Structure 1
Amino acid sequence: TPVTRTLQEKMYQAYDFQFGQVVVQLVAGDIVKQECDVIVNSVDSSYNLNLGKISASIYKHVDKQVQQECHQNRIDGCDYFRLTSAGSLPCKWILHFVVPDDLQEMSDSFLQLLQYADSDALQAKTIAVPCLGMGNQRKKLESVILFFRDSIQCFTCFGSVKCIQYIKIIIQFVKLLYHAVKKNHATTKILTNLPKTWDLTGKPKYLNFVNPQSEEFKAIENRLATAVPTISDIKIERVQNESLYRLYSVKKQEVLLHLQSDRVAEMDLYHGSPNYETIAGTYFNRGYAGATGTLYGKGTYFATELQTAMKHCDRQDGYYTVILATVLTGNYTKGYGNMRDAGVNKDGVLYDSSVDNESNPKFFVVYHDASAYPKYVVTFT
């Protein structure tokens, strides 16, 4: 009947969103019918393909060899997914993904999965993904949307995408998901004005020397001299990473929405790392958490005092190189060693960072790669 045809048309319609050069499609349909390079399967840590609704559906279309591959094909450095052939499915490969319980860990591991699919190993142009986390884990729709958005934003903003052109998210209730994603995706379209101090002439580069005669230089010089009066021979480089700056600005808007009245959204803090050039060109990667300790959480650490950052920074020929960053400290709580995110308070208000001491913090720890922007790289003796 005409009514039935209309319902079928609505069921199988798709909605598109643009993330950089990648098109994300919300598609109502069946994961096993997707004609693409890679499909993602949701499995538990045993990698038993007969367990779970999505995995069991896929298992009906593959043979025992795929199950054997799933047990055997470990990928170095990838703890949450494995690659197999696809049996009789209309795709080339299956990436079997163990969905972590923690949302931040879920986002990080899915980002790693996208990077692997995009790498020379697979060179995938299209990838289909079920709506992860809404099955046995029963995560809220809004949490799943934020997970997909953050992962795909990071994938398209940090570094160049080599191959992937389309990411299909397969779900039954596509219209509900569309309206929710549209609301959240609007934040990615905020028109962020770049800082007026940036030099946008010539070929773009991440590190740009600041003129020692400028007010910009003198303000930072005075800040450093106040912190450590004995420093001299100061060189300041401004970080101009447009992708990270825009992503940081979007994250700042989220922090402002739930900021408590007695907190400030952001602070200028110090970070010591020998990898300052990599950070300037990419972001503060929480994958390195633990390199200098995880006493107050497994995130990226920032110090209120310059001397603290100097203990962990790059040192060559008597010169120290430290990053002066702007950090979304927002609502914060006391941190502890096993924290993977800052959590929420008793009223359900999000924490944005953890600290060593709530009344007088010396350390701030953030758990999102867009929660800090490296404004300046400063070298001095």
Structure 2
Amino acid sequence: MEWLIICSAKKDLLENVVLSKFAEDWSRLKNRRISDNLENSHSSINVCKGDLIKQQTDVIVVCSSSQNLFDSICKAGGNSVSASYKLELSKMPEASIITVKAGGQLLSKRIYFISWKTNSDESILCKSMEKFVSDALDKAVEQNYRSIAFPAIGCGLLKCSVSLIARTMVEEVYRKLQRHSISVLFVIQPEKKDVYDEFQKQIQLLESILPSNKLRKICATFDKGTIEVVMGDITMQKVDVIIGSSSSAFLREVIIKAAGNDIQKAYDFESKTHPNSILIATPSGILPCKQIFFVKWEPDSNEKVLEQSLVDLISTVVQNVKSYKFTSIALPAIGCGKHGCSIDIVVKTMILEMKKHLITKKLPWTVKFVIELDQKNIYNEFCKQVLTTQDGFHEPKTYHLPITWEKSIEHKIRFKLTITTDEYRFIVSNFDQTMKEKYTQIIKIERIQNERWYMQYIAHKEDFERRLKKNTEKSLYHGCPEQAANLIIEDCFNRSFAGKNGTLYGFGVYFSSNAAYSHGYTSLNTSGERCMFIARVLIGNTTVGNSSMKTRPLGFDSTTDGNHIFVTYHDAQALAEYLITYK
């Protein structure tokens, strides 16, 4: 067949080409994941008391608008650092980063000078700090550095909020570490104990509730197969085969660069030998897969032509995966990036066609659609199509959003309720029944409008009702710290967070019909406020739990204390409806 361009002998030959360097390259890849400067080898982020000048990380980051820090680094680096900085600045006066080779008393390899200014508007301030961290990490990864040290910008003479600075910088680092393997160190001046304590607190909090390897993911089964939608890096997927497009230079280069130089040679050889082939297969190099398929595909402005090209692409992928006897695939959101194709057509067609193949051929495969971390709208669309099409042949089912939900052109997901509405009064009335002695003031009540989460929950609810022939939904409370609440609103009640506050009735997410009980799991923020969710929870068939239960017992959907506590074991089993902030 034309699309099967590597016969068994040629496949063995190409694998032998890379075999000699495989162990060395794989070892080097693993070493990139090891922290060079952190006390805990399993962690990629830490904080220490010390001097930025003495850090032995590959890179140190300097805020060029912080005169004291700038002067001390230039003095320690000697004339070469000062001269290099001035030269680079004259060449690129508008550059966001000036990179200079370290020297003198500096123990690092490179210095990144980044300009940053404070702002009285907290929203603008946070965005500028996020950019400061993001730009530095992106540059370090681009230059293949493995460790980087940051100062606590804004916590000195500028007198910015220490908690805001620490939270923003730490959260941005964690966001970037979902995609990149690099050791990050925050270096705090020894006399600034409050700053050190705050950074340590933010790191510990995130480590306890957001494991760094936990990416956003939803999945659904279709006959014997499973389709997953995950946010992450396609080159890091542990599957049999990773799919790329030979027509997308950017995607092709990303995959080949991650796979290693030998794969570039293998690809060049095959593309020259078989220039008209629909698919080029290469070994995986140092990627954690068995094979890479580069499928020929071209975008088109004509919607019918575009749709048909995607139908053909999925068919080609399925046919070749079957011939190799593979059972797991990772596909990118082809056409949704620089090609600028209709996201609606691309996503609908790819998901629908893959479902048809899984169902009609009864394929026991795992198919991953891997979406880049900064493409949240595309991720949401993939989730919608996976969760709303029932069998791969009918039109997607439409879920109606709650009538109380407000429209937002800014894609907001938190809406503050007006105190004069019946919606607000009803929530306060129920909250007050068990909380009279435990609070003095409600600061605000926010309605949570996370559409992706809502659709996932409703699909789960309908499955419960079909299976159990009854409605087992309850309105329950869930108390937690403010930072945990912010993460939950974005990414649901994640079961991987379980265990922090005990596992008396099972290792899951805890809810209660008694707000006073959930109050015990809240904590004060810097303003002396607490927060508590009101959630819709599917308890299904429930049984009394105990601390030995790592998951729900066979035949049950949740565990309970037999009274007011319910424990869930599936991320889509609960939906946050409101967040109450109170004192």
Change (3 A) 1:161 1:236: closer
Distance 2:546 2:14 in 1: 41
SS at match of 1:204: coil
CA contact (8 A) 1:188 1:250 kept: no
Per the TM alignment, residue 340 of structure 1 is displaced from its structure 2 partner at its CA by 4.7
Report what 2:163 is aligned to.
none
Change (3 A) 1:371 1:221: same
Which ranges of structure 1 fall in alignment gaps of 5 or more residues? 1-7, 13-28, 34-55, 99-112, 124-140, 168-180, 346-350
CA distance in 1, matches of 2:523, 2:398: 35
2:431 aligned with 1:221: no
Change (3 A) 1:199 1:59: same
2:13 & 2:473 partners in 1: Cα distance? Answer: 47
Q: TM-score, normalised on structure 1?
A: 0.56
* Cα contact 1:269–1:303 (8 A) shared by 2: yes
Structure number with the bigger relative contact order (C-alpha 8 A, sep ≥ 6) is 1
Match of 2:401 in 1: 194
2:290 pairs with 1:90: no
Distance verdict in 2 for CA 1:337–1:114, change over 3 Å: farther
Q: How does 1:114-263 map to 2 (within 5 A)?
A: 148=367, 160-161=375-376, 184-185=391-392, 189-201=396-408, 203-230=410-437, 231-234=439-442, 235-259=444-468
Q: Deviations over 1:284-343 (max 9, x none)?
A: 222322222334333322222212221222423443211111112212234444645425
Residue number in structure 1 paired with 2:569: 366
CA contact (8 A) 1:237 1:377 kept: yes
State the secondary structure of the residue aligned to 1:248.
Answer: helix
CA deviation profile, 1:216-259 (whole Å, cap 9, x unmatched): 00110111011212334222110111111111111212222212
Question: Are residues 1:352 and 2:557 paired?
Answer: yes
How do 1:262-301 and structure 2 match up within 5 A?
Answer: 264-274=471-481, 275-301=484-510
**1:331 aligns to 2:541 (yes or no):** yes
Give the letter for the 2:572 counterpart: A
Select the structure that is richer in helix. 2
Number of residue pairs aligned between Structure 1 and Structure 2: 269
1:96-111 alignment to 2 at 5 Å? 96=288
Q: Quick one: distance in 1 between partners of 2:479 and 2:500?
A: 11
Q: 1:373 to 1:334 in 2, by over 3 A?
A: same
Hey, what's the Cα distance between the residues in 2 that align with 1:90 and 1:217? 60
Alpha-carbon distance in structure 1 between the residues aligned to 2:489 and 2:289 = 31
Render the CA deviation track for 1:258-301: whole Å, top value 9, x for unaligned.
1265xx43211111222212221232222322222334333322
Aligned residue number for residue 320 of structure 1: 530
SS at match of 1:196: coil
Equivalent in the alignment of 2:41 = none
Please tell me whether the aligned partners of residues 505 and 549 of structure 2 are also in contact (alpha carbons under 8 angstroms): yes
In structure 2, the partner of 1:375 is 577
For 2:548 and 2:492, how far apart are their aligned partners in 1? 23
Matches of 1:374 and 1:67 in 2, distance apart?
47
Structure 1 residues 199, 57: closer, same or farther in 2, change over 3 A?
Answer: farther
Question: Pairwise CA RMSD of aligned residues?
Answer: 4.6
User: Structure 2-normalised TM-score?
Assistant: 0.38
Q: Residues of 1 paired with 2:537 and 2:572: CA distance? A: 9
3-state SS in 2 of match to 1:189:
coil
8 A Cα contact 2:417 2:447, kept in partner: yes
Q: Do the aligned partners of 1:290 and 1:298 also contact (CA within 8 Å) in 2? A: yes
Contact 1:314-1:322 within 8 A present in 2 as well: no
SS at match of 2:288: strand
**Which consecutive residues of structure 2, in runs of 5 or more, have no partner in the other structure?**
34-180, 182-211, 215-235, 239-257, 267-280, 291-328, 339-360, 383-387
| Change over 3 Å in CA distance of 1:156–1:68 after alignment to 2 | closer
Percent identity over paired residues = 23
Q: 1:318 to 1:340 in 2, by over 3 A?
A: same
Separation (CA, whole Å) in 2 of partners of 1:142 and 1:342: 29
